[in-house]
Amino acid sequence: MSTVRRASPLISQVEARELGLDRPDLIGIYRNMLATRRIEERGNLLFKAGRLPGSYYTGRGNEASSVGVATAMGPDDIASPLHRNLGVHVVRGIQPAAIFCQFMGRSGGATGGRDSNLRSNDFGSERGLLAGVSHLPAMIPTITGIALAFQLRREPRVAVGWCGDGAAARGDMHEAMNLAGVRRLPMVFVIDNNQYSYSTPNRLSFACDHLADRGPAYGFEGIVVDGTDVLTVLREAQRAIERARDGGGPTLLELVTLRMEGHAVHDDAGYVPRELLAEFAAKDPLDRFRGWLEEVEEVGEDELASLEDEVAAWIDAGVAEAEASPMPDPATATDRVYG
Ligand SMILES: Cc1ncc(C[n+]2csc(CCOP(=O)(O)OP(=O)(O)O)c2C)c(N)n1
């Protein structure tokens, strides 16, 4: 039997104001979601045109969860986003030029051309973004260790770690949640439940009702959240982050979405039932939030059209800058390698 709370959806304007969000903030959230979607779409086109090396992964359908959680974070908090979480990078202020440099393997990218769109980071700046690594969810023990460091140093900072529904089955995640529960670490675990782990559906991945049930199993709250509704995500993330900062320990947020594209470009996701895709297409995170802004904040067509233009120009400039960035010098291949 499930012991988790289900976050109530549909936030009113009054509640949005109570969350500290005025009209420009709300439009800014939409802009970040829009930028995330459009950057990924442009990356797809560039990949098809042979201008991106390696493979290509997107988080389409996941924009509300990445942007919603990242918006709730404080400037000194640390995040470890994954391959579906470009929105976290956008919210933390990574510019399209740097993102496309990373996608294109150019020297101006976060890893200096050592990797592509799958793993990015922002070491050395103040933006607090840890890179993902291939082994999932290997960053979860690392980010939990960072939460432990914050606690030991008595720093009022929170660590936020992302994990997929499939990777949540691995020992790393269970051990990290256990440690975080025992030590009441300033940590928020975010499981992006996009219902598929490559081609494996939830029913073959776990036998509990909700992944959030694992929070109470380790001594903290688990909350199931509609991951297509950015304001609900933001509210729950804000509460969880505040609680962690105030010494109240960790929270597990299960954000329910659907991976709207294949695992990566090579996968047509033919195994996802059409009805399920249609159900989630009807509650597309961008469409939903745009509808809310139109209805509640009376954002008009002109305002939305100029946002589209602004984001498109920003992305165009980023792509041009990235294409002018040199390929990495092979002589630097062993730089940044530590023993
Ligand atoms: C330890 C480990 N095993 C297998 C893989 C190969 N792999 C990469 S992504 C992936 C699916 C992960 O599913 P999930 O955690 O649900 O995240 P999603 O990709 O669906 O967002 C797999 C099996 C891996 N990266 N790491």
Q: For 98-136, how does the pLDDT look when each residue is reduced to its tens digit (9 = 90+)?
A: 999 999 999 988 888 888 777 777 765 678 898 788 899
pLDDT of residue 7 exceeding 90: no
Is 167 near ligand 1, meaning CB less than 6 Å away? yes
Ligand 1 neighbourhood includes 60 CB (under 6 angstroms): no
Ligand 1, atom 22, residue with closest C-alpha: 198
| Residue 167 Cα: closest atom of ligand 1 | 15
Structure-token pair, residue 214: 């694992």
Distances (CA, A) of 218 to 61, 175, 181, 221: 29, 10, 6, 9
Ligand 1 atom having least distance to the Cα of 205 = 16
Residue 4 scores a pLDDT above 90: no
| Number of the ligand 1 atom closest to the C-alpha atom of 196 | 20
- Report the pLDDT averaged over residues 315-334: 95
Distance 180 CA to ligand 1 centre (A): 23
| Ligand 1 atom with the shortest distance to the CA of 165 | 16
In ligand 1, the atom with minimum distance to the C-alpha of 84 is 21
pLDDT tens digits along 66-82: 999 999 999 999 999 99
* Category of 247 on φ-ψ map: left (φ > 0), alpha (ψ -120 to 50) or beta: left
| Average pLDDT value for the chain | 94
User: What is the arithmetic mean of pLDDT over 304-324?
Assistant: 97
Residue of 198, 199, 265 to mutate, ligand 1, most atoms within 8 A of C-beta: 198
- Determine if the pTM surpasses 0.85: yes
198 lines ligand 1 (CB under 6 A): yes
Atom of ligand 1 nearest to the CA of 82: 21
**Does any ligand 1 atom lie closer than 6 A to the CB of residue 196?**
yes
Instruction: Give the rounded percent of residues in the chain with a pLDDT score beyond 90.
Output: 85
pLDDT at 115: 81
CATH superfamily of domain region 16-326: Thiamin diphosphate (ThDP)-binding fold, Pyr/PP domains (3.40.50.970)
Looking at residues 48-61, what average pLDDT do you find? 93
In the chain, % of residues over pLDDT 70? 97
* pLDDT given for residue 19 in this prediction: 93
Q: What is the pLDDT of residues 211-241, one digit of tens each?
A: 999 999 999 999 999 999 999 999 999 999 9
Q: Whose C-alpha lies nearest to ligand 1, atom 12?
A: 197
Q: Other CB atoms closer than 10 Å to residue 174's CB: what's the count?
A: 15
Q: What pLDDT does residue 123 have?
A: 63
Question: Does ligand 1 lie within 6 Å of residue 271's CB atom?
Answer: no
Residue with the smallest CA separation from ligand 1 atom 26 is: 135
